[in-house]
Amino acid sequence: MNYGNIKKYDVANGFGVRVSLFVSGCTHHCKGCFNEVAWDFNYGKEFTEETENEIIEALSPDYISGLSLLGGEPFEPENQKVLLPFIQKVKSICPNKDIWCWTGYTIEELIDPKIDSRAKCEYTLDMLKYIDILVDGEFIEELKDISLLFRGSSNQRIINLSDLSEIRRRIIK
């Protein structure tokens, strides 16, 4: 997996001061995307163990609230394969830090077995277990609203995943 950027003092992508990782690779190709350069899976630098350690070190101060995952698309299967062990490591080393994730997929596309989605793979449900807040849905330029907190368009939702089992029960009924 490649990444385009790491912001170590980000106040725009979640509550508090955060460390934000912008992964590379996205197949949504939303019209008006703010980070179109990150559609390319080869954009940026390779995500290595040194990168992981750099991010974990940046998360260590008490004033850092947590980690934000953006893109590109964190839920592209090839990104999930790398991100899952990384966020497991983050939660193990920094248990008091929350993890926010932005995705163009909806929560229903990620967990409902009746919906066919290219994002679903063997890592998806485990990834969701480690994410505290999910901002879901593709950016839709016609629904763009700069007054929204942490979202670009009004179709996108901020979902607290603290009880994923309850969310699953409601969707799968």
pLDDT tens per residue across span 69-103 = 999 999 999 999 999 999 999 999 999 999 999 99
What band does 172 get if pLDDT is binned at 50, 70 and 90? low
Quote the CA–CA distance of 50 and 53 in Å, as a whole number. Answer: 5
The β-bridge partners of 66 are 18, 98
